[in-house]
Amino acid sequence: MAKPMDQITWQELEIGAVVVEIGNARQYETGSWRSERPIVDKKQCIRCGVCWLFCPDMSIVRASEGHFEANLTYCKGCGICAKECPVGCIKMVSEEE
Amino acid sequence: MGKVRKGIEVSIAIADAVKQADVDVIAAYPITPQTHIVEHLAEIVAEGELDAEFIPVDSEHSAMSVCCGSAAVGARTFTSTSSQGLALMSEIFFIAAAMRLPMVMALANRSLSGPLSIWNDHTDVMMVRDAGWIHIFTENGQEAYDNTFCAFRISEDPKVMLPVAVNLDGFILTHMIEPIEYEDDELINQYLPKFEMKNALHPDKPVSMGCFAMPEIYTEAQMNREQGVVNSYPRILKAWEEWGNLTGRHYKPIETYRADDAEYCIVTMGSYGETASEVVDTLREQGEKVGLVKIRLWRPFPFEEFRKAVLGKKHLIVIDRAISFGGPGGPVALELRSALYKKKGAPAIVNYIAGLAGRDVSRKDFTNIILEGKKKAASRDTDGFTLYGLRG
């Protein structure tokens, strides 16, 4: 988006609200939805990538040390990664803590 | 070839028009009284007379979904439905308009269940009144044939880009055999050149269609749609004007018959205009100063033309073909009362709901409605509506 969504006028929208700019979902930071965040115990992580595979928002990224962790700009805190992790190394922690 | 006059069933003529319009994709599910249109199209495609994909679908919901897909890649797309079929496709029907996908539907108007009925009225189209489609109403087979071409022309206009429904009364028109003037293929090609869609789905230029909208942008998207429908109006006039120039058959958003010097008018939409015009003639001979106003374009509603036609008349007798339960009257009367509100010289509106589910409205009935309506207007009994011919 050339402009943030809340500044676009009706005249600026494409016909049919077609989005012509590729990949602009990246600008929509869904991390603000989160009430819990996934915390990865990188010592326990076996680097299988199951969390990466299951994340519905492609918010799991591989850290430089080789383990996986959540990109909190986009992670909505759904908890699927924690549920699917075969070794239970991901814990959901309340954002209030 | 030139013009050819044929005695033909209106449904078949519409299918022939779709063939002449050289559509690319037809997706439809058969439903009475639209069946002959799609059956004949299936035959035309199967016989190799039209190079198109005829996609037989499992339901109307799928039919409209297929139409959205084909229109999204810029294919010329046609479908047809009625009543329950329209109800079943309604979810995607709204989306087709929101995504501004050009396509044409022959909407064979039929009552909605229940009670279950296959006969004609306008309850189906009124259900989708606010969907954002352009709605044209036709009065006879020739108009339905002609407006199939005009509908494609309007729909694909880069300044319009909206789906268009050509409404025709089920059975009364669909199953009628009428003399219809067919136009030459060359003339059709001239009127309806190949369609190139901006922002069509293509791997070379990826776009996203049908995205979700947060509260921050939904209102703007709706205004964009609203303006799209409103701004289609001059383009619709232009499409009709060019059709008139080519064929000699002219169409207007509001058409009148003996209305200029009339003291009061009857207002119809669809095939009732034909019978009403004959009754107007008869009543004129008897000294009644009555005229006829016909609404051809239902969306976008032609407010200015309507007002021009009726302001200064004593009253209007508006015939609706649908009921709004617990509401203020039929949808047409409701619209017209609103269009005239606080206008100087606005006639009072007497509203009759007649011909529900194909109950015959004959010349005698029109005469009754006109004369009874005149009395109601004289006694200022103009609130609400009257169900014409109701027993009990």
Residue pLDDT, tens place only, B248-304: 999 999 999 999 999 999 999 999 999 999 999 999 999 999 999 999 999 999 999
Structural element, H or E, at residue B1: none
For residue B96, the distance in angstroms to the closest alpha carbon of chain A comes to 9
Number of domains in chain A: 1
Domain boundary among B247, B268, B298: B247
Contact at CB, B224 and A22, closer than 8 angstroms = no
Specify whether B210 is located in the same domain as B301.
Answer: no
Report the percent of chain B where pLDDT is more than 70. 100
Check B211 against A19: CB less than 8 A apart: yes
Interface of B with A (CB under 8 A): 98-101, 161, 198-199, 206-209, 211, 213-214, 216-217, 219-221, 223-224, 227-228
Q: Is residue B392 part of a domain?
A: no
Return the pLDDT at A2. Answer: 67
Residues in chain A whose Cβ is within 8 Å of chain B? 5-6, 8-11, 13-20, 22
- Residue among A13, A16, A18 minimizing CB distance to B220: A13
The 10 Å CB-count burial string (b at 16+, else e) for B152-177 is bbbbbbeebbbbbbbbbbbbbbbbbe
The interface predicted TM-score (ipTM) is 0.88
Q: Are residues B239 and B264 in the same domain?
A: no
Digit-coded pLDDT (tens) for B83-124: 999 999 999 999 999 999 999 999 999 999 999 999 999 999
Residue A3 C-alpha, separation from nearest chain B C-alpha, in angstroms: 12
State yes or no: pLDDT of A24 exceeds 90.
no
Domain boundary among B212, B247, B282: B247
Quick count: other Cβ atoms within 10 Å of Cβ A78?
18
Q: Is residue A16 part of a domain?
A: no
Q: Can you give the residue range of the structural domain that contains B348?
A: 255-387
Mean pLDDT of chain B: 97
Residue B149, classified by CB atoms within 10 Å of its CB into exposed (0-12), middle (13-18) or buried (19+), is buried
User: The pTM is what?
Assistant: 0.94
